[in-house]
A and B are shown apart, each in its own frame.
Chain A
Amino acid sequence: MNSEHQSPSDDHSLCSDHGGENPTVWDLPQVPLGLKQEWLQLETRRHFLGRGVRALGFAGLATLLGKQMPSALANSAPAGGVPSLPMPHYAPKAKRAIYLFMAGSPSQFETWDYKPALADMFDKDLPESVRGGQVLTGMTASQARFPIAPSIYKFARHGKAGHWISELFPYTAKIADELCVMKSLHTEAINHEPAILQITTGNMFPGRPSIGAWLSYGLGAMNEELPTFVVMTSKMPHRTNVQALSNRLWSSGFLSPEHAAVALRAGSDPVLHLNNPAGIGGDVRRAMIDGVNDLNRQLFERVGDPETNARIAQYEMAFRMQTSVPELADLSTEPQSTWDLYGPKAKEPGTFAYNCLMARRLAERGVRFTQVFLRSWDQHSRLPENIKLMAEDSDRASYALVTDLKRRGLLDDTVVIWGGEFGRTVYSQGTLTPTNYGRDHHPRCFSMWMAGGGVKPGVSFGETDDFSYNIVKDPVHIRDLHATLLHLFGLDHNKLSYKHLGLDQRLTGVLPAQVIHDILA
């Protein structure tokens, strides 16, 4: 339970789905025998089906491969015989996105959703009528009272846009006129894992492709030497109540594995095992990969499993990354103006500032989707103290990224997104004092901002009530956010689909999703 950073008295504030750095089921000493047998059986069945396909002849194989073709293209295959390539349904506004993911969920009260009326309601009980029948987490449901905790941080208006921004974000305040601040996001999920899955993959259950994988599938690569989808996790400025991240959040789900993100590590070795061992030259490596690919091709001939081709593609990508990644990670050519902008932390590999700079370098090189995670926003207790530490790390780097993209002429076609997986409660979790409080999870409303890439700058969208408890105007469900994001990339969320388990699967699922036209430039 992260004991080195938590006093025992704080243990109550750990989330029920807290994972942190604890052992998981995969760390069990032995996988149960039954499970292994089941897996072996499945393998056999797959081989059997594969042979069956082969027995049906080449036409059958072609049909199988045909399913790999994005359905987006199926209705508009070019007449001229150009290899069928994924392409947007209509001309895109955004070519790339950088998603600054604030994992653990920052409170809207100390960031973007200014609620001045709360100042006079310190320690008053949240009216029952506001809360309605909402289910609370097990962490506060048994509290005798729900005392209102106003933000201890001050707000001021910024820019021509007049956004109310908390004093915790002095740098971001300087780019107020670039921001579209959305205050009416909402979700069904009340705990981190389902919530973060829903916002990264469109579904609370694991196994779906994440946004970046859908973009890779729907649009293809702009730079074939680098992955289309890249993920980076950041060093934390403090460690309290840390949520686990896993590659479920950036997986390709049922899409071909080549659409999954490559997770870059901090420092001189961003992709593990990418460098050749001492004494192995590039030509030897090339010969080895050719040999392995040849074996894989034979396997494909025999079994017909499209995943074998995906594996060949992965080997080739890894080989290309042996050249492209060292160049990407070499910051020695950055001018002094870069360090002036991002600040001294950007020189330390793995910090959020460093990752934001890397995100800009990825964007320049044509990587479509970069997701940078910054964890430890889950402030159930000691919120005023801890959110300040988090904001210090997030604020300058986010500002620097948007400013850097803008001055380099990249912000017009790069959309930057900042936000977490849900909101937090107006009432205090645990003891409320004038200087200390905590906030529990709150799915009914939360705030995010977007900038660039065809998003209308300097606007605010959606409103919550005086308690930022319920949405009173223009609700934005996560699937609406996803539909809007795809739209910026020139993709119709209803058309971008993939057949799986008998359904035309989509990022936005089966419930109606709306593109938010009011926030489009």
Chain B
Amino acid sequence: MTSSLKLSALLLAAVGALRAETTFFQARVAPIMERHCVVCHGLEKQKGKLRLDSFEAMQLGGDSGPSLKPGDAKGSELYRRIMLPADDEEVMPSDGKPLLAANEKKLIELWIAAGASKTAPLSDFAGAPPLVAGKAAPTVALAPDWRPRAAEIAKLESTLGVRLRPRSQVPTDGLVLRTASAPRRATDAALAQLAPVADLIVEAELARTPISDASLKVVATFANLRSLDLTRTKISSAGLAALQGLRHLETLNLTETEIDAAGVAAVKTMPSLQRLALFGSKAEPAAAAAPGAGGQP
């Protein structure tokens, strides 16, 4: 390595430090301690003379000795205690409190195995599970925050008779457009009025609605759409081409529609599409029909 390269490496390291890159400890380990441990091992209580409410406190250990053995998860008291079965007297958290979830245990294991560092950046742990299981990546916003447009959403719901419901309590998980209560009210004319919330809609449940190809042009403006159900609607293969610009669309349900091979050709090249249901359509592949053929197993 030439000296100039060494220099730039140093500089990069320095820049990294200045930028205060998110550390694995602060992003993953500290929240787990906060959630499960600090109530008994923190400022207010120090059971077993142990505190786990800061990196420095964790280095001190408690009555059972050091809690961490950097580089050796299995040899670390903290890891041993969280891995015990629920009925073990020594298991932590104790007194029947919820134990750590599998992903949380894994994060602690990875952290100790990599040296239980305070400064190791989050990016060093590429294969680590998410902090909150069930959310693929907590930082990924599927759509803009819906809350500033709450009044608009409520108005659209009451005038159009469709439902625009948050997908979860995470405000950037987007909305689901729901029509099951009154599918007949979800007409082309009604959908045409959804422009003010088009970018918020992540799922569109349009099965059994009277929509036609005109609505597919509206749906095409739902830029953050992941899932679209068009079961038993009167859309055509020609109309389907309008959806090609939906680059996030993962699930497309065309059950019992008039869609044929040409329609499928129009959508199957979409970059994100993972699931395509064609049962009862004119494009139903023979293989998909076979399991329904019944007969003797």
Which residues does A use to contact B, with CB under 8 Å?
72-73, 76, 78-83, 85, 87-93, 170-171, 173-175, 221-225, 335, 337, 340-341, 343, 364-366, 403-404, 406-409, 412, 487, 490, 494, 510-515, 517-518, 520
**A521 CB to nearest B CB, Å:** 11
List 8 A-B pairs, minimum CB-CB distance, nearest first: A80-B150, A409-B277, A366-B180, A170-B297, A223-B180, A409-B253, A340-B294, A407-B279
CA distance A335 to B289 in the complex (A): 13
Contacts of A511 in B (CB 8 A): 96
Asked if B293 is an interface residue, CB under 8 A from chain A, the answer is yes
| 14 residue pairs A–B, Cβ–Cβ below 8 Å | A81-B150, A83-B154, A85-B166, A87-B165, A87-B169, A90-B173, A174-B291, A337-B292, A340-B292, A403-B292, A407-B288, A409-B251, A409-B253, A513-B98
Q: Is the CB of A408 within 8 A of B168?
A: no
* With A79-B150, A89-B168, A340-B294: A409-B102 Cβ-Cβ less than 8 Å: no
Interface string of B65-102 (1 = CB under 8 A from A): 00000000000000000000010000000001111011
Q: Which of B165, B229, B296 contacts A85 (CB 8 A)?
A: B165
Q: Which of A85, A343, A517 contacts B133 (CB 8 A)?
A: A517
**A407 CB to nearest B CB, Å:** 4
**B155 CB to nearest A CB, Å:** 10
8 A Cβ contacts from B263-297 to A: 275, 277, 279-280, 288-289, 291-297
CA distance A76 to B150 in the complex (A): 14
Contacts of A517 in B (CB 8 A): 101-103, 133
Asked if B243 is an interface residue, CB under 8 A from chain A, the answer is no
Contacts of B98 in A (CB 8 A): 494, 512-513
8 A Cβ contacts from B27-72 to A: none
Among the interface residues A78, A90, A520, which one has the most CB atoms of the partner chain B within 10 A? A90
Contacts of A175 in B (CB 8 A): 291
* With A80-B151, A223-B181, A335-B280: A89-B99 Cβ-Cβ less than 8 Å: no
**B187 CB to nearest A CB, Å:** 18
Asked if B234 is an interface residue, CB under 8 A from chain A, the answer is no
Q: Is the CB of A341 within 8 A of B292?
A: yes
Asked if B127 is an interface residue, CB under 8 A from chain A, the answer is no
Interface string of B212-253 (1 = CB under 8 A from A): 000000000000000001010000000000000000000101
**A157 CB to nearest B CB, Å:** 15
Asked if B170 is an interface residue, CB under 8 A from chain A, the answer is yes
Q: Is the CB of A82 within 8 A of B168?
A: no
Q: Which of A90, A221, A337, A409 contacts B229 (CB 8 A)?
A: A409
Q: Which of A79, A343, A408 contacts B255 (CB 8 A)?
A: A408
Asked if B262 is an interface residue, CB under 8 A from chain A, the answer is no
Q: What number of B residues sit within 8 Å (CB to CB) of A?
A: 52
CA distance A87 to B166 in the complex (A): 7
**B175 CB to nearest A CB, Å:** 11
* With A340-B292, A494-B98: A222-B180 Cβ-Cβ less than 8 Å: yes
| Additional A-B contact list (20), CB under 8 Å, known A88-B169, A225-B181, A406-B291 | A73-B169, A80-B150, A82-B150, A83-B154, A170-B297, A174-B297, A222-B178, A407-B255, A407-B292, A408-B231, A408-B253, A408-B280, A409-B231, A409-B251, A409-B275, A412-B251, A487-B134, A490-B168, A511-B96, A512-B98
CA distance A406 to B279 in the complex (A): 9
CA distance A93 to B227 in the complex (A): 12
**A352 CB to nearest B CB, Å:** 16
CA distance A428 to B86 in the complex (A): 33
CA distance A486 to B104 in the complex (A): 19
Contacts of B102 in A (CB 8 A): 517-518
CA distance A335 to B182 in the complex (A): 24
CA distance A490 to B169 in the complex (A): 10
Contacts of A174 in B (CB 8 A): 291, 297
**B24 CB to nearest A CB, Å:** 20
Q: Which of A89, A171, A408, A520 contacts B279 (CB 8 A)?
A: A408
8 A Cβ contacts from B156-186 to A: 165-171, 173, 178, 180-182
Contacts of B103 in A (CB 8 A): 517
Asked if B148 is an interface residue, CB under 8 A from chain A, the answer is yes
Contacts of A81 in B (CB 8 A): 150-151, 154
CA distance A409 to B253 in the complex (A): 6
Which of chain B's residues has its CB closest to A406's CB? B291
Q: Is the CB of A490 within 8 A of B292?
A: no
CA distance A9 to B223 in the complex (A): 71
Contacts of B294 in A (CB 8 A): 340-341, 343
Q: Is the CB of A90 within 8 A of B132?
A: yes
CA distance A364 to B275 in the complex (A): 17
Q: Is the CB of A90 within 8 A of B169?
A: yes
CA distance A511 to B231 in the complex (A): 43
CA distance A337 to B293 in the complex (A): 7
CA distance A83 to B165 in the complex (A): 11
**B107 CB to nearest A CB, Å:** 12
CA distance A520 to B136 in the complex (A): 12
CA distance A474 to B217 in the complex (A): 50
